Amino acid sequence: MAVIKNKRILKCLLMMVVSLLLVLGFSIGVSASSCYDRQEADACITISERLSVKGGSETLKVSNSKMKHVHTGHNPNKVAEQLKYTTNIPKKTYFNKNWSNADIEKAVNYGYNQAVNKGVVDGIITLIYNNEEITICMEKGIFKTAYGNCNYSIKDLLELLGDD
């Protein structure tokens, strides 16, 4: 039996076990400590994000922080809101402007599950969801971002604001 003396590694392993139990549907109690180092937490989250269970009936979901990134950068309605403060919006592609936040989240989670099921570890997978092309980007087995294939000009985005 190996003894783990490094507290950081031990904490990360514990978080991975907890993540696995949650993925498998176990109900467990978890306590948090305010003395937990943010850098250690990020490292553990990165490790636990790499953890995936194949063959299970559970659907994988993109984390809230990654979903926020997707909405901020590729949801045309959210990007249009940014135009109230700046017109310096980088040229990129977006999801369909008629999709709700929930529609985008369903598409992203669907695409993420397809990427994992097809074994995409590094790179992109482009697929069709609800008659729209979406792209999922993975790096080292971790979801990085997602975007649609729609192009909107600044004028198009401003029209989404309506009379605000």
Does the pLDDT of residue 147 top 90, yes or no?
yes
Residues 1-46 pLDDT 10s: 566 666 666 666 666 666 655 555 554 444 343 344 444 444 444 4
Provide the edge-to-edge strand list for the sheet that holds 123-129.
123-129, 132-139, 142-148
pTM for the model = 0.64
Instruction: Report residue 63 as tokens.
Output: 């984390």
Mean pLDDT of the chain: 77
Average pLDDT, stretch 114-128?
A: 92
Give the whole-angstrom CA distance, residue 99 versus residue 78.
12
Residues 62-77 pLDDT 10s: 999 999 999 999 999 9
Residue 78: what pLDDT? 92
